[in-house]
């Protein structure tokens, strides 16, 4: 049962991050608003595309590690990737986003990713 929970949480997180990446690639301005810092109309859309590519890659890399390398490799990736939502927390706070979004979405995501890493290490 425990490995099922560890793998299940990791798969859900990886799929969710891949979805966020796809959303930034397909609907970047809507995704940026959900991120907590709306994109300016005159802003450079390349940055939104970079975010989409980054998130999509992390999600797919996590799935690949789970499928082909095992729980410990995926746990190491989760541990490192937890830095991304921690950084996103600071970005939202520094660029006019609300504390609710910064902590309720990004910081909470970092905590869940760290929990996932711990569960995968324990498998």
pTM value is: 0.92
Q: Is the pLDDT of residue 46 over 80?
A: yes
Average pLDDT over residues 6-19: 97
Q: How many domains does the chain have?
A: 1
d(CA 48, CA 82) in angstroms, rounded, equals 20
Give dist(CA 34, CA 116) in Å, integer. 23
Residues 6+ apart with CB under 8 A from 10: 62, 66, 71, 74, 78, 116, 119, 120
Query: What is the distance between the alpha carbons of residues 97 and 13, in angstroms, rounded to a whole number?
Result: 23
Per-residue pLDDT at 43 exceeds 80: no
- pLDDT band, residue 45 (cuts 50/70/90): confident
CA 1 to chain centre: 25
Determine the structural domain holding residue 50 and report its residue range.
2-122
């Amino acid at each position: 049962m425990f490995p099922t929970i560890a793998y299940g949480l990791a798969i859900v997180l990886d799929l969710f991050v891949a979805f966020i990446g796809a959303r930034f690639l397909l609907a970047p301005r809507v995704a940026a608003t959900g991120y907590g810092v709306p994109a300016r109309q005159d802003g450079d859309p390349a940055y939104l595309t970079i975010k989409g590519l980054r998130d999509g890659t992390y999600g797919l890399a996590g799935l690949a590690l789970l499928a082909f390398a095992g729980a410990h490799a995926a746990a190491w990736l989760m541990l490192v990737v937890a830095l991304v939502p921690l950084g996103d927390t600071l970005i939202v706070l520094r660029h006019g986003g609300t504390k609710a979004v910064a902590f309720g979405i990004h910081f909470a995501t970092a905590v869940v990713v760290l929990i996932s890493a711990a569960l995968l290490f324990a498998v």
